[in-house]
Amino acid sequence: MNRILTFCCVLAMAFAVQAQYYYVPSLTPGNPGGLNADGEYPIGGGLDPSWTAVVGPSATTPTWSSMQSIGFPFDFNGSPVTDYYVSSTGVVTFSSVPGTAPAATPVALPSAAIPDNSVCVLGIQASGTNDHAATKTFGTAGSRQHWILFTSMTNPSDATCWHYFAVVLEEGSNDIHVVDMRHACDISMSIGVQIDASTAVSVAGSPALEQKAELSPFDDDNYAYTFKQGTQPAYDMSAVAFTGAEYNLLVDAPFNITGQLINLGSSTISSMDLNYSVDGGSPVTANVTGLSIAPYATYNFSHPTAFNPASGGSYEIEIWASNLNGNPDEVPGNDRTDGPFGVFADFTDRAPLYETFTSSTCPPCTPANVTLENLFALPANEGKFNSIKYQMSWPGTGDPYYTDEGDDLRGQYAVNSVPRLEVDGGWDQNAGNVTQALMDEWASVPSFIELSATYELIGQAIGVEVEINPLIDISNNNLVLKMAVFEYETENNVKSNGETEFFHVMKKMLPDADGASVGPFTAGVMVTETEEHEFAGSYRLPNNAGDPINHATEHSVEEFEDLGVIVWIQDMATLEVLQSAEASLKPVGLDNPDVIATAKLYPNPAQDQTTLAFQLTDAVQDLQLTVFSANGQQVSSRALGNFPQGRSTIQINTADLAPGSYMAQLDAQGRQFRLMLQVVD
Residue pLDDT, tens place only, 80-119: 999 999 999 999 999 999 999 999 999 999 999 999 999 9
pLDDT tens-digit series, residues 315-328:
999 999 999 999 99
Do 673 and 559 lie in one domain? The reply is no
The region of weakest confidence among 17-31, 180-194, 586-600 is 586-600
Q: Is the peptide bond before 207 cis (omega within 30 degrees of 0)?
A: yes
Is residue 1 domain-resident?
Answer: no
Which amino acid appears at position 660 of this protein? G
Query: Which domain covers residue 272, as residue numbers?
Result: 237-344
DSSP 418: S
pLDDT at 402: 98
Say how many residues make up the chain. 681
pLDDT band at 588 (very low <50, low <70, confident <90, very high): low
pLDDT at 13 over 60: no
What residues are paired with 44 via a beta bridge?
A: none
Query: DSSP label at 404?
Result: H
In 3D space, the residue among 94, 270, 277 whose CA is nearest the CA of residue 169 turns out to be: 94
Q: Please check whether residue 200 lies inside any domain of the structure.
A: no
Terminal-residue alpha carbon distance, the chain? 105
Whether 434 maps to a domain, the answer reads yes
The residue among 540, 566, 585 that closes a domain is: 585
Using the predicted structure, report yes or no on whether residue 561 has a pLDDT greater than 80: yes
Residue 4 inside a domain? The answer is no
State whether 61 and 179 are in the same domain: yes
Task: Kindly report the average pLDDT of the chain as a whole number.
Answer: 91
Q: In 3D, which of 285, 276, 283 has the Cα closest to residue 317?
A: 276
Q: Are residues 115 and 250 in the same domain?
A: no
One domain for residues 325 and 357: no
Residue 5: pLDDT above 80?
no
Q: List beta partners, residue 502.
A: 490
Residue 184 has a pLDDT of 86
Proportion of the chain above pLDDT 90, given as a percent: 74
Separation in Å, CA 169 to CA 23, 37, 131, 140, 178: 14, 16, 21, 14, 9
> What residues contact 171, with CB distance under 8 A and at least 6 apart?
72, 73, 74, 139, 141, 142, 143, 144, 145, 146
Q: Are residues 131 and 181 in the same domain?
A: yes
% of the chain surpassing 70 pLDDT: 96
Residue 202 maps to a domain: no
593 pLDDT band, cuts 50/70/90, is low
Q: Report yes or no: 611 and 651 within 8 Å, Cβ to Cβ.
A: yes
Whether residue 459 is contained in a domain is answered as yes
pLDDT at 598 over 80: no
Mean pLDDT of 206-229: 91
Structural domain contains residue 602: yes
Question: For residue 204, which of 104, 296, 90, 106 has the smallest C-alpha distance?
Answer: 296
Which helix (H) or strand (E) segment holds residue 437: the answer is helix 436-443
Domain check: are 336 and 391 in the same one?
no
Examine the domain organization and report whether 447 and 393 are in the same domain. yes
Q: What is the pLDDT of residue 9?
A: 36
Q: How confident is the model at residue 6 (pLDDT cuts 50, 70, 90)?
A: very low
Q: What is the mean pLDDT of residues 331-351?
A: 92
In this prediction, residue 571 carries a pLDDT of 94
In angstroms, how far apart are the furthest CA atoms of the chain? 120
User: In terms of domains, do 334 and 365 share one?
Assistant: no
pTM score above 0.95: no
Buried b (16+ CB within 10 A) or exposed e, 305-319: eebeeeebeebebbb
Boundary residue ending a domain (529, 564, 585): 585
Q: For residue range 172-205, what is the model confidence (pLDDT) as tens digits?
A: 999 999 999 999 888 899 999 999 999 999 999 9
pLDDT at 308: 97
How far is residue 569's CA from residue 643's CA, in Å, rounded to a whole number?
A: 27
Better-predicted residue by pLDDT, 402 or 597: 402
Confidence of residue 46 (pLDDT cuts 50, 70, 90): confident
Q: Are residues 268 and 386 in the same domain?
A: no
Based on the fold, state whether residues 541 and 602 are members of the same structural domain. Answer: no
- DSSP per residue over 292-320, as a string? -B-TT-EEEEE-SS-B--SS-EEEEEEEE
Considering the domain architecture, whether residues 364 and 477 belong to the same structural domain is answered as yes
**pLDDT above 80 for 396:** yes
Q: How many domains does the chain have?
A: 4
Boundary (domain end) residue, out of 585, 610, 626: 585
Does 215 lie in the same domain as 75? yes
Select the more confidently predicted residue: 236 or 16: 236
Q: Say if 655 falls within a structural domain.
A: yes
Q: What is the mean pLDDT of residues 390-403?
A: 97
Residue 316 sits in a domain whose CATH number is 2.60.40.10
Mean pLDDT, residues 627-646: 88
